[in-house]
Structure 1
Amino acid sequence: MNFRENRTHGTTFYPLHVYSHHDKDGFYSVASHWHEELEWVYAQTGVLDLRIQGKSYTLQEGEFCFINAEELHEIRSEGASLHHAIVFQGDFLDFERYDTCEHQFIRPITNRTLSFPTLSRDLPPETRENIGACLREIIACYHDKPRCYALHIKIQILQVLELLYQAEALTNVAQSSRQEETWSKLKRVISYMQDNYAQPLTLQELAQQAYLSPPYFCHFFHKATGMSPIAYLNSYRIQRAAQMLAQQDTSIAQIAMEVGFDNQSYFIRKFREHKRVSPREYRRQVRQV
């Protein structure tokens, strides 16, 4: 079973998409997931909390981060925010003719032998400022779609690569076999949760997916994600419930059952913890937007 995000970003002929999310009320969250595409996140306003490969980061207004292919990550915010995620396949940058540029600068990215730095604040000030300008140009161009926008976006992405190479900010990928095994186990467990969240899952059952004892599994999972396995499962269930509340007229009791809660009162309490409003109020607010 594969644990990656099952979503197509962009089209076959233009495999890039810019997701812009303006959260006026706060409490935005995307549960841990991974995908083969690169993802560049820009916080235009507000504050974003991210967890990437088990490490916690915070993006302040105007900052950005790079998420490498297949890195497990989640995004949260409390309070109003506007952020953008530029998601694209690495081979989007390939040249048809194999030349010096392809060999020296593009292939290390598409072959994943070089990785992007995580936070913009770790870059030299001038590099950070110039890359930020490129990202803002990509976002505006994608949404406005002026003439030649597809070409202009690709040029801006290549400009970002040049700036990172000039700053010597790209690093060689060196991951131990033990680290690879750890992330493989975590992806397997998270994928199992996301495939079976509607079913009553036990800690023992989840631990078996990682071939660990329940006590050690809890320690392992918390160290990697910052939350317990059950807390993550409930968070994912609430995320799915929020989508259903926004898109369907199904009763709240039925939605609670369909996302794995057999007790409606417990579901409402957990929903309030995550969204700061009741399911009914959330449905009303999201449909007014």
Structure 2
Amino acid sequence: MTKFKGGDIPREKVKMAKHYPFFIGDTIGVESYWQKLHWHDVLEINLIKSGTGYYMINGQKFEFQEGDILLINSNDLHCAYETKDLIMQVTSFDPAWLISSLRLDPELLSPFREMGVNFSNLLDREHPRMHKMRALLLELQEEHESEERSYTTIVYALLLRFLAIVNREFRIEGAAIAASPISERQLDKMRYVIHEMEQNFAHPWTLEELAALVYLSPSRFSDIFKRTVGMPPLLYLIHIRLEKAVAMLENNQLKITNVALECGFRTLSNFNRLFKKHIGASPKQSRRFHGS
């Protein structure tokens, strides 16, 4: 494993059609093994249709409830956690799609460009225009899913309207926006460690090894990681391994013992215990469910 040298850490590349780089759809709940931090090259808008939970975004915690709208910038380190009955509409789009409109309105993407300065990831739920914003996102989804004639043009127009209203109405100029407790340099280091953990998930990582990757003491590293991710580094590693294990169990050719070893668990009993604790079912039950 190489140590941190700074620079860009690979982002998740979201594949989208060149002529229509846009997607909108619902996610129901957040499985425990999907609660992992990621960052990508698209912009994201989330509407909470029902339920409650919270987002970890660049080390800040945003609790959300039904009706809330959140904006996620490209390169934001983020993940969602469900607390109850979560249904979330997720909108993703390539900002390059809006280049022609930016010539007309250079401030159109300011809500993302000025995030943390003049805008918050969580839009003000008490704002009088929130009802209109929710309606626009629901209409966006309806048009996208209908695929009727000229639907792409209407989706584009609705997205422009949504962004323009956010830029006009939800700016927080002169108001104090809580600064991220994590610096950009520290975020880069955590991105690097997460990338190394995911690429080498079976390695018997120790806290000291992970901290050494980014030239931090174990206690300092553990503190920054927990504030960024919302959980300690070795617990996050367990989540990564269990995610890989669930995928491997779909292949009935692999014995459960082999799955455990390939995912970095030293004993079958420890694997079974952690799997049941975090996934909510035994490996055998998960295999039957995914294999059915």
Smaller-chain TM-score bracket: 0.7 to 0.9
Tell me what 1:164 maps to. 166
Change (3 A) 1:264 1:147: farther
1: CA distance, partners of 2:91 / 2:58: 19
Aligned counterpart for 1:148 among listed residues 150, 161, 178: 150
Correspondence list, 1:83-232, <5 A: 83-95=88-100, 99-101=103-105, 103-106=106-109, 108=110, 112-113=113-114, 116-120=119-123, 122-169=124-171, 179-232=183-236
Change (3 A) 1:18 1:242: farther
1: CA distance, partners of 2:227 / 2:23: 32
Tell me what 1:61 maps to. 66
Aligned counterpart for 2:39 among listed residues 34, 39, 63: 34
Aligned counterpart for 1:271 among listed residues 243, 250, 275: 275
1: CA distance, partners of 2:154 / 2:208: 52
1: CA distance, partners of 2:138 / 2:245: 33
CA-CA distance at 1:66 after TM superposition? 1.1
Unmatched runs of 5 consecutive residues or more in structure 1:
none
Aligned counterpart for 1:75 among listed residues 71, 80, 83: 80
SS of structure 1 residue aligned to 2:44: strand
Q: Retained in 2: the 8 A contact 1:18–1:84?
A: yes
Q: Retained in 2: the 8 A contact 1:32–1:73?
A: yes
RMSD: 2.9
Q: Percent identity?
A: 27
Correspondence list, 1:251-266, <5 A: 251-266=255-270
Equivalent residue letter for 2:274: K
CA-CA distance at 1:169 after TM superposition? 2.4
2: CA distance, partners of 1:244 / 1:140: 36
SS of structure 1 residue aligned to 2:171: coil
Q: Retained in 1: the 8 A contact 2:197–2:237?
A: yes
Q: Retained in 1: the 8 A contact 2:189–2:214?
A: yes
Unmatched runs of 5 consecutive residues or more in structure 2:
none
CA-CA distance at 1:197 after TM superposition? 0.8
Q: Retained in 2: the 8 A contact 1:31–1:239?
A: no
Report the count of equivalent residues.
Answer: 280
1: CA distance, partners of 2:107 / 2:262: 51
Q: Retained in 1: the 8 A contact 2:32–2:279?
A: yes
Equivalent residue letter for 1:248: N
Tell me what 2:20 maps to. 14
